[in-house]
Amino acid sequence: MTAKFDGPMGGECPPQFAGLQQAFQDNFADGKELGASVSVFIDGQKIVHLWGGWCDRKKERLWEEETLACVYSSGKAVLAAFIFEQVENGAIDYEAPVADYWPEFAQSGKAEMTLAQMLSHQGGLCGFEEEFDPRRWLDWQATCEALAQMAPLWPPGTQNGYHPQTFGYLAGEVLRRVTGKTVGALLRERKTQHGGNIFCGLGQEELARTAYMVKPEKPPVLGELNRYTQIAFLKKWSSPAGVKREEWAAAEIPASNMHANAVGLAAMLAPMAVAGTDAFYQERCHRDDLVLPFNLSWAAGMMRNTNGAYGPLEDILGHSGFGGSMVLADRKNRLSFAYVPSKMSPALIGDERSLRLIEALYESL
């Protein structure tokens, strides 16, 4: 029998979703959480928003409604949502070449790479093979110039290999070329609703309400450490290094350093749950991934639910972040859901805490 959690909790949850609230509390009672938030939207309206626990190891700062935590790769879903908005506005087309919006990108054999191929990790730009100063990730222009000049590591469209860092610059630069604004600026000008927050690039005020991220006890299992996995994850320059936490948090690294609460993520995906088109949900590829040890089905920037990590239906789109955060959009039930923890696990997809929450959620429908 699960022990009862008597720690701090807050939020709103109607009786219909009492099972989800219990599952959230059970994760704490089982010692799997330090602090976390969870949110559900249906028909574009906030139905559930729960938070609990603490922001620090000493349990001196309570987790509050607007507490932020790093969501790592769950931020890729935010990028997919921004791209979807521009597609719906007619500003861009999934089937058009990336170079139509970013002319310099046409270099080195990339002239025909489509936006859909890029968003589904088929572009062959999963990382940089040649050594560079890992501080370069904090320089948007330099990183985008390097990607524009880079030759793909495989012929675009023939394979998929997860792009852990570069995805944010690729999608973000297309957005910047089309809107004239960076990802961070797009998020900051967005009307804050329902107590939701997402930031890419933290100021001092946001940093002050950010939870401490407890690193996992062991590293994630990456499977075969092939050439692509090493380039994407294991080189000394595969991610930012040699920078202070404040510098990293202030920079815009959209694929891995967005900070949010669960209601912010769920609100961002709510339009895709209510009015997501076939073009958004369409399967763009379905193969064994060259970087991650999974067989993945990709839509335009999000994973299709072929592995069951995002609920009981295959026609659900989701994305997970290192440590356990995740967000999904379910157009059949017109539902979006997000989970943001600070105690990180080594699971890359299908964290046991989120699986428990999702199971309880769907039992409540």
| Pairwise CA distance, residues 40 & 328, whole Å | 10
DSSP E strands, the chain: 9-12, 35-42, 45-53, 69-70, 198-199, 259-260, 285-288, 295-298, 303-304, 316-320, 326-330, 335-341
In this structure, are residues 340 and 73 in contact, taking their beta carbons and an 8 Å threshold?
no
Q: What is the pLDDT of residue 1?
A: 46
Q: What is the DSSP letter of 225?
A: -
| Pairwise CA distance, residues 200 & 115, whole Å | 22
The SS3 call for residue 343 is strand
The SS3 call for residue 40 is strand
pLDDT tens sequence across 34-57: 999 999 999 999 999 999 999 999
| Pairwise CA distance, residues 3 & 27, whole Å | 10
| Pairwise CA distance, residues 232 & 364, whole Å | 39
Mean pLDDT by 10 residues, the chain (365 residues): 81 97 97 98 97 97 97 98 97 98 98 98 98 98 98 98 98 98 94 77 96 95 95 98 96 98 96 96 98 98 97 97 98 98 96 98 98
Q: What is the pLDDT of residue 4?
A: 83
Note if the pTM is more than 0.95. Answer: yes
In this structure, are residues 78 and 254 in contact, taking their beta carbons and an 8 Å threshold?
yes
Q: What is the pLDDT of residue 194?
A: 64
Which two tokens mark 243? Answer: 């920078």
| Pairwise CA distance, residues 206 & 227, whole Å | 38
Q: What is the pLDDT of residue 192?
A: 56
Domains and CATH numbers, the chain: 9-364 (3.40.710.10)
pLDDT tens sequence across 204-220: 999 999 999 999 999 99
